[in-house]
Structure 1
Amino acid sequence: MTKVHPNAAAAAAVAPAAVAEEKGEAVSLTVWRRSLLFNGKGFTVFDCKGNLVYRVETYGGGSPREVVLMDADGHGLLTIRRKKLSLADEWLVYEGDAAASRSAAAPPKRFTARRHVSLRPTRCLAHLSPPRRQSCADGGVVPSCRYDVEGSYAGRSLDVFASSVLGDEQRRRVATVCQKEAAVGPDVFRLVVQPGFEPSLAMAVVILLDQMNAS
């Protein structure tokens, strides 16, 4: 059975997820929908060896407006913030800990996420779109990807597909959420991230779907 609790002896080592990413291998993570802190809510994420990789810690009831994805040492990697006064269900994904950056320059925005709305049954759940313009050094615009999430979050069966915003590339599956082999319940599941896709961004997608289902 896959180890659930973190391996404290590896705290000072390089994150195995980063090593797998450098080798061009798929990254397999175990997601535990529980905080390591007493009375806290959130997520705890381990690699295939049981080492702590990411964590999310929130407090209070209901769905928080802002969630920070942290690494094993508590450093903010991405901030997921629900957009205020929006006609649609929208969330913004920022680089780093946005709350810690409010006194300085605004953190870079990575994506805008929207819940998919349709009157007909569909497997599509959400869309993540990059900022409208991403400038590069020569004054041009950097081509970027948009992501579509399909499946069932309640059933812990999700696929994340990437496609070029320019429409010049065939869409491809970059991450998958699935139930673990052992019958451990819906709060422990697997996140598999394909080479070339950021594991932290894949985990941000999981947080977004959790927020959308709680709202």
Structure 2
Amino acid sequence: MTKVYPEEQHVAGNNQVMLTVWKKSLLYNCNGYTVIDSKGNLVYRVDNYATQGKNDEIVLMNASGRPLFTIHRKRLSLSDNWLVYEGDNMVKPRFSVKKHMNPLNTTSLASVSTLGSSNNNSKNALYEIERSYTRKCCVMFDERRRCVAEFKLKETRGGIALGGDVFQLVVQPLIDPTIFMAMVIVLDQMFGSSRHFCT
């Protein structure tokens, strides 16, 4: 079987973080994600036993199972909007991710904002996610239009894709890789071929 994790000599330079995302849980009879680093170490995981219906809540965990982010679909919203909470504390969201609905701008996928204080419901734009999810080629830009993270289908040395469920994430030193992994999960919920979490 082909290795799904990057080999050490192919790790991106300049302190970039390169991860491999496999859209599969390591647990039997469970859907999710397995994320490994350049040495083959487990970094993040998502394990979900739900097999029917839409998932309104997904938990991104570290290798030992500690919740890092809880991703929750915002109900009663006119657009596809998700809230990202720190850990499993769903009191105050850290991010809001809103799907772009403009048919004239097909390369703009979603915007990521921070929410204001409890007395101020304003949102501060942090990132824009662009390109094409169906082609598995997405880039996240910060407010100064710098590329801070991107993901694409992972390929072998010969340029052959490892399949539609194995991705390569490259994250710049400017951003916590955990944040972008949470965004990948949200994008899959927004733009995946099935709006269900199971694969």
Tell me by how many angstroms 1:35 deviates: 0.7
Distance 1:203 1:2, change over 3 A: farther
1:151 maps to 131
Tell me the TM-score normalised to structure 1 length: 0.76
Q: What is the aligned partner in structure 2 of residue 198 from structure 1?
A: 176
Distance 2:166 2:190 in 1: 19
Are 1:132 and 2:116 matched, yes or no? Answer: yes
1:1-215 matches, cutoff 5 A: 3-4=3-4, 25-58=15-48, 59-98=50-89, 106=91, 108-133=92-117, 146-163=126-143, 170-182=144-156, 183-213=161-191, 214-215=194-195
How many residues are treated as equivalent by the alignment? Answer: 178
CA positional deviation for 1:38: 1.2
Deviating 4+ runs (over 3 angstroms) = 1-5
Tell me the distance in 2 between the aligned counterparts of 1:180 and 1:154: 14
The C-alpha deviation readout for 1:166-213, integer Å capped at 9, x for no partner, is: xxxx22110010121222111001000000201000100100001112
How far did 1:153 drift?
Answer: 1.6
Q: Which stretches in structure 1 are left out of the alignment for 5+ residues?
A: 6-19, 136-143, 164-169
| TM-superposed deviation, 1:62 | 3.4
Root-mean-square deviation (Å) = 2.4
TM-superposition CA deviations, 1:29-48 (whole Å, max 9, x none): 00000111111111000001
**Contact 2:4-2:162 at 8 Å conserved across structures:** no
Deviation at 1:121, TM superposition (A): 4.3
1:44 aligned counterpart, secondary structure: strand
1:24 CA drift (Å): 6.7
Q: Under a length normalisation based on structure 2, what TM-score does the superposition of the two structures give? A: 0.82
Higher share in helix: 1
CA shift for structure 1 position 146: 1.0
Deviation at 1:51?
0.5
Q: CA deviation at 1:3?
A: 3.6
Identity of aligned residues (%): 48
Q: Separation in 1 of the partners of 2:52 and 2:142? A: 33
8 Å CA contact 1:124–1:151 kept in 2: the answer is: yes
Shift of 1:87: 1.4
Give 1:89 deviation, angstroms.
1.1
Q: Which amino acid letter does the alignment assign opposite residue 175 of structure 1?
A: A
**Residues 115, 45 of structure 1: CA spacing in aligned structure 2 closer, same or farther, 3 A cutoff?**
same
